[in-house]
Amino acid sequence: MLVKPENEGKYSCVVKNRLYEDSAEGSVTITGKEDFSIILAASIVVCVIGIVVLVIVLIVKVRKQRKLQEELNLAGLANFEKGAVDSINPELPLDEQADLLPYDQTWEFSREKLVLGKQLGVGAFGVVMKAEAYGIVDNEEKTTVAVKMVKSGADRSFIKALASELKIMIHLGKHLNVVNLLGASTRNLAKRAH
């Protein structure tokens, strides 16, 4: 039972039957009235602050997503993540339509877990670096990998070519006679950064 400040006062109880009658009196004093108000006010303030923080986090997340989409559009990679699977023509080779394939986020690997080493080679639009990837393969703390990336300040056609190559490798899957993809770090793809 919740006791409220308006319940404060004197109370009496009378018990009576044919043979006997008895009564008792008592008073109820509510203490801590101020405590209830303080707790209520503090609860309201905490809830309001929580809602404001949640709204700010959502706004920041939406703005970040919009900015990323704008950068992808500027880099000519508007359909990079979602793809346009409905537009794929089965009559044409997949490598000519790779930009229509969706990017599978499960391949995303954190750039912070990758330590670049020496350069292994240079191609038409990219550089291949030796690196150590931490946690990319189950049951291995670190794995030596080759990292392919666009050259610094590369033209957007080179970025699109690398993105297409990535999507093709994802959709091909693992194969004994092909270099296998372990992960990708596409967070800065639209910014033309490594």
Strands (E), 41-90: none
CA distance 129 to 121: 7
Strands (E), the chain: 9-16, 21-28, 114-122, 126-134, 142-150
CA distance 167 to 128: 18
Is 148 annotated in a binding site? The answer is yes
CA distance 101 to 92: 13
Residues making up the binding site:
148
Residues making up the binding site for ATP:
148
